[in-house]
Amino acid sequence: MISTVFKYCSALCLSVAVVALAASSASADEKDSPLTMVVMDPLAAPLSCPCVEGYAQRDYTVLAEHLSKSTNRNVKVVFAESLPAALKKTRGKVDLVIGKQSIVRADAKLAKVQMSPVSQLTDQKGNTTQYGMIVVNKEDPAKSVGDLADYTIIFGPSEAEEKHSAAIQLLEAAGVQIPLERQKIDDACSDGACKVIDLGPKSKTAAVISSYAQPLLEGCGTIKKGDLRVVGKTTPVPFVTVFLAGSLAATVKVQLTEGLADAALQPQVLQALESLVGFIPMADAPKLVKKKVVEPTNTWPGWLGPLRNGHVAWLPSSLPTEPDVVWDFPLVHAGLGGIAATEKYVIFGDRDQDDFQDVFRCLDAKTGAVLWEVQRLAAAALDYGNSPRSTPLIFESTAICQGALGNLLCIELSTGKVRWEINLRDEFPLQTELPWGYCGSPLIADGKLIVAPGAPDASLVALNPRNGELLWKTPGLQPSHGSMISVVLGGVQQIVGHDQRTLGGWDLQTGKRLWTVEPRASGDFNVPTPVVRTNKQGQRELLVATKNNGIRSMLFQSTDGTPSAQVAHSMKLRTTMSTPIVIGNKIFCVKDFLFCLNAADLSERWRLRDRAFGDHAATFATEEYLLVIGKGELLLMAIDGKKILSRCTVFDQPQVLYSHPALLGNRLFIRGEHGLKCINLNSTENSPH
């Protein structure tokens, strides 16, 4: 059930905790002593419940592991519903606190502990705020906040800003003054919501609940969807914030602040925290970080986006009838590799006029003008052409580009200067040639650049992305034609994906192969990328889909990072090229049809035939909408239905688009056979930009 705000400890317990904190502060920054991270986030797994799939199951142990590396100190995680309760558990020792900003501030003041806010956690849509909602019984006659003048209002405690001060301001702005005798207080959203339902529509009672709590109230069955009606929303208030203890040494504060910023570049951390772009520094935070950290807030950094899963923060509610083309850049050759983009740059791989050289291009994102080109000799006769198959990877201030013949370059985004380069074929020689060339897109994980040369002694390698130096290599088979992911499974951070024949996991720190799965049927091209989902029990499952072996899901319950069981298997979906996309308890994927499967057991919900669906289609998704891009058309669908809401034809002639587009705000960068276009997806309604 929803976690209630923990009752404050007695004055005696609190005073003991404060004394203990003071006594321990002298040794808090000793080099080898562990750091204590107190987590009060109501969406953390131990403080919530697994009632809503993929929501409120934030795994802060993954963040602790990440911060341990940035500080070279063990980071201990303590979960508590209040700071006084945490101080009692830790005997007064706390180094950083993560929780609702207003709650942490109030608790720190009560405990007389100096805490400074440094950054805020973004949610799955990139927001750092929440808001309060004033709700009434579904049959209550009140239509707006102005109708509540003679109502009893159930607020949250004063330290819960969204349920108290922000709600009072909302009422006062509507000219409603609630006398003290009609102001009630309930710690938990569930208490107020249930009272409104139980008292009935004639009681003239309203309650204030937190926006983040509504999905949990409905998911847990505390209330039924539709039992309550929202009559007003407060202004947004800060939500989950990171505070550092004043007793920390300045060097440790810098290490922690840098570690929090670097989490934005770690897909496994973002996934564990159910966050789009990690932590955003607060404007008034102490200026601790000296190095420049590129904020990927407005970045499509590479293959399938920030988390390699096709999820985006926004999609329109409808598509324009005719494409709103911002600019159109002509191309000589069709391309297979995807597009990476920022607000300034659009990067993709191409070929020269004579098809002898790789050409890596950077265009101005606003105008389509060429900012720079880098060419490298790459003469061959590959199946499906010689163009780069990989999607460029934006890392800090560089783009890492890979050609089908093995050219691997790190290029400065602002200048086009090549910082370093190697050729995979020369550096890691193959025993046989690759008919499709090097296809997998480079991956950044924990500061390591992962590529798959496919050499006998270097099937997979990790490079230093700043200079190209080899960090480790591991023997194995030739590469697959797909891309890999980085994720924590079974307690181990690992690289997961295919080689030429098998599925496997490799330890990210050493390159050691942890496990191997041989497919039942041979001959898979192994193009689709594996996908990770969180089931209702809060456990991570690995979803893998290929042509000859269908789609299957595996569970990781062991502590050595190896799969423990196959959960489900289905031959309904046999995708050759398209990577499935998971939204809640549904899986979507295109293979001649658009398939919708149940994520839990992989059974088929429905399939849809359309002229735009072929062997391959790219997909983007939010919690509400699915955007499918196939044969030159855009199709928008609601997640909850089978109906196509609207469609837009981008290219005059039908064409299979193997190059995966990039979506940045309301701008879609999409490559066809003869040009790359920037499309404004929303020229009529409000959008992110």
Q: What is the pLDDT, as a whole number, of residue 277? A: 81
| 11-123+239-292 matches 129-237 in fold | yes
Residue pair 253/114 in contact (Cβ under 8 Å)? The answer is no
Collect all residues with Cβ–Cβ distance below 8 Å to 299 and sequence separation of at least 6. Answer: 306, 341, 342, 343, 394, 664
What strands lie across the sheet with 324-330, from one edge to the other? 324-330, 675-680, 667-671, 662-664
**Helix or strand (DSSP H, E) at 106:** helix 101-111
| Residues of the chain scoring pLDDT < 70 | 1-32, 283-298, 538, 683-689
Asked if residue 141 lies in contact with residue 147, where contact means CB atoms within 8 angstroms, the answer is yes
C-beta of residue 77 within 8 angstroms of C-beta of residue 6: no
Residue 93: strand pairing partners: none
Q: How is residue 427 written in tokens?
A: 């550096």
- pLDDT, one tens digit per residue, over 663-673 is 998 999 999 99
CA 146 to chain centre: 39
Can you tell me the distance from the alpha carbon of 528 to that of 595, in angstroms, rounded to the nearest whole number? 15
What distance in Å separates the CA atoms of residue 334 and residue 671, rounded to the nearest whole number? Answer: 8
**φ, ψ dihedrals at 68, nearest 5°:** -60, -35
CB 548 within 8 Å of CB 574:
yes
| Rounded-to-integer distance, Cα 118 and Cα 114, Å | 13
The Cα 549–Cα 116 span in angstroms is 53
pLDDT tens sequence across 458-510: 999 999 999 999 999 999 999 999 999 998 888 788 999 999 999 999 999 99
Model pLDDT for residues 17-51, shown as the tens digit of each residue: 333 333 333 343 455 689 999 999 999 999 998 88
Report yes or no: 451 and 483 within 8 Å, Cβ to Cβ.
Answer: no
CATH class of 11-123+239-292: alpha beta
The whole-number pLDDT of residue 178 equals 92
pLDDT at residue number 683? 58
Residues β-bridged to residue 620: 627
| 620's tokens | 């983007």
Task: Give the separation between CA 317 and CA 216, rounded to whole angstroms.
Answer: 25
Q: How far is the C-alpha of 113 from the C-alpha of 122, rounded, in Å? A: 26
| DSSP secondary structure, 279-323, as one string | EEE-TTS-----S----GGGEE-STTTTTTS-B-S---SS--SS-
Report the topology of domain 129-237: D-Maltodextrin-Binding Protein; domain 2 (3.40.190)
pTM: 0.64
**Nearest-5° angle of CA 141, CA 146, CA 149?**
85
Could you tell me the CA-to-CA distances from 186 to 276, 500, 606 in Å, in that order? 32, 59, 44
Type and span of the H or E element at 39: strand 35-39
- Give, in degrees to the nearest 5, the angle at Cα 679 between 675 and 681: 155
Per cent of the chain over pLDDT 70 is 92
Dihedral sign for Cα 41, 47, 52, 58, please: positive
At 285 the pLDDT is 54
The residues spanned by each domain of the chain are 11-123+239-292, 129-237
Contacts of 10 (CB under 8 A, 6+ apart): none
